[in-house]
Structure 1
């Protein structure tokens, strides 16, 4: 199924939707999904591939494209040509001017439209964002539908142009308690295309429920092309309680009476300290000084629990892998063993986001990208959808595809 990816970043959603990547064995509930288990490699397992293939991706960050291309170059014939380093606004305008931009025969569109304006960690300007679609500053008295808070509308334009059978949009949990923003977005998405889309009420998914070792919460929107749905699917998807066999939201695999959440200790298994590692992403970590508990990002992770949400806008204040005793560190055995106070490495953040270890974030300059530094890497990792959360969504959708849609 041909997939068009918007606001792709470094590709967490794309990796998850294609599958065939290594993740922790503890992150897969084999009792519920034995068919997901592929190549077994000790503590790790390569999950089964899906039916989806990313044929178009886009973002405005050169560092995100560089990392995406570096990974997908091993999987696709011309990853560099697939990824379009351009604003979605400009791409839509080109398409409407008769330029061939988007591929034909798109079955599914995914996109995590920018979340900074809806996040409780930001100013929460929502639709009144003062940032433009290409990241530049706008005047406060310059209202425009091309601001960052309205970019979901441009995602809707792409959906209207490509007419996929289904779309999936992702954003921060904070969007759901920002006035009637969620309802407005659901309504606007429903009017995409010629016949409209059946938009299922958005839900917040808690990443640890799906084997992700990170306390990340994300709101997910599903929209189904009305004219493509079977009659039974139409009837099921509008019910207050959607029957399990038609529910697009994946069932939990971890927690409660299932299997335990995956912890930081699980995620960091086999990682050497930065000074001993050959992995460039494990070598790099923020050297920002300890600023006291009153500042963001000055806490030590709870090693035997799920990790903190990996933030994009941390300004170097990424959480600590361990603090010194002087600063309240609790990992005494590690400190006694001579391990020093330091913040999370790039690789540790990537592990908490369930990126596979063969995804390298620290890149040297090539003919199509600038350097990707540790600071860049933290930002693009923090912006990403956890690969395994996306995989759960993809495999659930894959398993119900024939129930949802009429045969072509």
Structure 2
């Protein structure tokens, strides 16, 4: 099935959707470093970008999406999230970086069978609730556009009236949204993203978000009554749970049905220590130790035997933010780019272009590949049934 990817970044969402069965005709991204990463991997013919079409480096606002009408089944992307980030200035609808209007225009002009858009958890903040609803209604009714000089609240009221009128002869999508934790879908990282999925109203199909496949309770069970420590050959002196999980683990009466949350140790298994053995680390792409890691208030690193904290894009103080490993002995070090890519479930043959801080920015802004794949597979299955 063919697609168009907007705001592609380093390709996390696109790679996951490609693994789910979608092949992008066009991948659009304005950031040249991200485009360099994508182009370099295309030139290297990595499997994860097989059958990808052109890479368009530039402003999405000048792209003609009408030429894709009838040619693509999916529009996907992650509209820039800075307006809604918990770490940003929270300008939301007054922020010129808000690219949701362009995502909606792409849907309106290309008329795909479905779309998948993602954004940060901050979009669900109470202060943004009205704008969240505004975005959702525009995605449901993309042809009900704002009039000249009409402010967004007036447009929202008109969309609400249209939505409740019962008359929907124009282009219409059934839209569902959910806040998903990537760790619940096998990603070794606690990363929450808001996902918008829309399926065109004329398709005879039903859809819901896939059920979580992994849980923290399953991990706690594995670490207290299973073979987690033996499997990883961890010495008994280094075994144990963080105190905040002890009561929860003791209260588990039966083994959970889900798989265990994956930990940092799970993710980086098989990678040589780039600090202690740099020559062996050279066998892996982007696996070089960056010096200078230190803890400071609010940024203490990710414990080895837990799902990682959310990787950040490097705008939170020290470059790389809290993208550090917290060792059992209490020391910290930065994750290498390859380790961070593992935490984001990028394949090992995917090469990131740029300096350490630049590549960490690309990774910190990315959608975990495995999360995108799980959602994409569910959408692809429904589209095949509706064909």
TM-score relative to the length of structure 1: 0.71
Give runs of aligned pairs for residues 7-406 of structure 1, distance below 5 A: 7-19=7-19, 50-73=20-43, 74=45, 75=47, 82-92=54-64, 102=68, 105-129=71-95, 147-149=96-98, 151-177=99-125, 178-193=128-143, 195-227=170-202, 229-230=203-204, 233=205, 246-255=206-215, 256=217, 257=256, 258-274=258-274, 275-276=278-279, 277-278=281-282, 279-285=284-290, 287-288=291-292, 290=294, 293-294=296-297, 296-297=298-299, 299-314=300-315, 315-319=318-322, 321-322=324-325, 331-332=328-329, 341-361=332-352, 363=353, 372-403=354-385, 405=386
Q: Provide closer, same or farther for how the CA distance between residues 217 and 356 of structure 1 changes in structure 2, counting only shifts above 3 A.
A: same
Separation in 1, partners of 2:12, 2:293: 30
Q: Provide closer, same or farther for how the CA distance between residues 67 and 310 of structure 1 changes in structure 2, counting only shifts above 3 A.
A: same
Separation in 2, partners of 1:9, 1:67: 9
Separation in 2, partners of 1:199, 1:124: 28
Contact 1:58 1:85 in 2 (8 A): yes
Separation in 2, partners of 1:60, 1:284: 29
Contact 1:301 1:321 in 2 (8 A): yes
Gaps of 5+ in 2: 144-168, 218-255
What residue number does 2:235 align with? Answer: none
Q: CA deviation at 1:226?
A: 1.7
Q: For the aligned residues, what is the CA RMSD?
A: 2.3
Secondary structure of 1:10's aligned partner: coil
Separation in 1, partners of 2:302, 2:42: 31
Q: Provide closer, same or farther for how the CA distance between residues 322 and 202 of structure 1 changes in structure 2, counting only shifts above 3 A.
A: closer
Separation in 1, partners of 2:36, 2:342: 19
Aligned length: 310
Q: Provide closer, same or farther for how the CA distance between residues 248 and 70 of structure 1 changes in structure 2, counting only shifts above 3 A.
A: farther
TM-score relative to the length of structure 2: 0.74
Q: What do the CA deviations read for 1:61-98 (whole angstroms, capped 9, x no partner)?
A: 1111111122234156885x611001111224xx68xx
Q: CA deviation at 1:280?
A: 4.3
Separation in 1, partners of 2:332, 2:261: 26
Separation in 2, partners of 1:152, 1:320: 28
Gaps of 5+ in 1: 20-49, 130-146, 234-245, 324-329, 364-371
Q: CA deviation at 1:104?
A: 5.7
Separation in 2, partners of 1:12, 1:195: 33
Q: CA deviation at 1:122?
A: 1.0
